[in-house]
Amino acid sequence: MFKVGLIGTGFWSEKHMKAWSRIPSVEIASLCDRSREKLTSKAEEYGVSHDRLYESAEEMLEMADIDFIDIVTPPETHLPLVQLAARYGKHVMCQKPFAPTYEEAAEIVAIAKKVGIRLMVTENWRWLQPAQTIKRVLESGVLGEIRVARFIHSDYFTERMVPGAKLPQPFLVDMPKFMFYEMGVHWYDTWRFLFGDPLRLYAEARSFSRNVKGEDSGVVTLGYEHFYGLMDTCWVTSREMTGPIVEDEVDAHFVEHFIIDGDKATLKMYGTQGKIVLVDHNGQETVVAERTVLDHEESHFRLQSHFIDCLESGAPFQTDGEDNLRTLRLTFATYQSMETHQAVALY
């Protein structure tokens, strides 16, 4: 049995708790949150007894019988929490964005390495059904050599984040680095999972909505030796966004498209149902999947099962701290490029 102590019982912790509850070799041994109210409501929902609840992470690490911690708190808290875990020799699963700066993320990686604790960043998007399906197609070789990859994402519609709107994550409106930081780490992690590390990038981004501080639309060109990619992301388009902001996360208001052109065939993911097809040189379509969904709950189950499998076997995590530094490099290079209007060489 692996005993987990989860820190941060806010909005997204629900996904973590559900997944831990489904993994037979894991016990939710204790919970921690600064807010007593959030702590007790999650504890009641998941049957964690009141003597295993902590308002201080330090107290939890000192007192609780746990093997690893699951950090589901904002990025600014990750360094001090990993320092604590290192002091008590506990493994760590840590939410994205890993840290507010590249340097801080590198410091976290160095701390974990020094004391020999295992560290994985919670990058669940590569575990979502569309990414997993596209990865299988790429690995099959059916597309041949990749020439161009285009990813289009529309979500959130920041114009609706008017003052007073009931938002599941109110902190989003005040983030100076917004879309390519809060969500971009997911896109870049998934991109790297599918295509590997790009050599350079160029970004254009804007903040259009009056209701958010940071950028809410942007385009990034990613250069490789033999192909290029385009990431086109926009949170001010009202196109096909008729639903509420989050209620039904797998439904039509969440729009992602992908077109990957290879020298043998093209993969297209389109429509509000996430249909994936292959198109050959004659324009003939073969359906890979009639429908794919952004199945966050399942993605967490896959990701957290991977974490436990690797703890058991000693195998490396797909998204360990060092791997995530490469993702953050893309994120912070995006801001550098948008500020300087220059392309950034990455490697």
List residues near ligand NAD by CB under 6 A.
Answer: 7-13, 32-35, 38, 57, 72-75, 77, 95-96, 122, 124, 169, 182
In the complex, the smallest distance separating the C-beta of residue 183 from ligand NAD, rounded to whole angstroms, is 9
In the complex, the smallest distance separating the C-beta of residue 289 from ligand NAD, rounded to whole angstroms, is 21
User: Smaller CB distance to ligand NAD: residue 128 or 201?
Assistant: 128
DSSP-derived letter for residue 246 is S
User: Smaller CB distance to ligand NAD: residue 9 or 30?
Assistant: 9
Question: Whole-angstrom Cα distance, residue 134 to residue 141?
Answer: 11
CB count in 10 Å sphere of residue 28: 21
In the complex, the smallest distance separating the C-beta of residue 118 from ligand NAD, rounded to whole angstroms, is 19
In the complex, the smallest distance separating the C-beta of residue 224 from ligand NAD, rounded to whole angstroms, is 26
Report the residue closest to ligand NAD, judged by CB: 10
User: Smaller CB distance to ligand NAD: residue 204 or 320?
Assistant: 320
Residue 182: what are its φ and ψ, rounded to 5°?
-65, -45
User: Smaller CB distance to ligand NAD: residue 95 or 233?
Assistant: 95
In the complex, the smallest distance separating the C-beta of residue 340 from ligand NAD, rounded to whole angstroms, is 26
**Any idea what the Cα angle at residue 16 is, between residues 13 and 19, rounded to 5°?**
150
User: Smaller CB distance to ligand NAD: residue 155 or 182?
Assistant: 182
Burial class of 178 by CB neighbour count within 10 A (0 to 12, 13 to 18, 19+): buried
CB-CB contact of 212 with 236 (8 Å): no
Question: Whole-angstrom Cα distance, residue 186 to residue 320?
Answer: 14
Question: Whole-angstrom Cα distance, residue 265 to residue 210?
Answer: 42
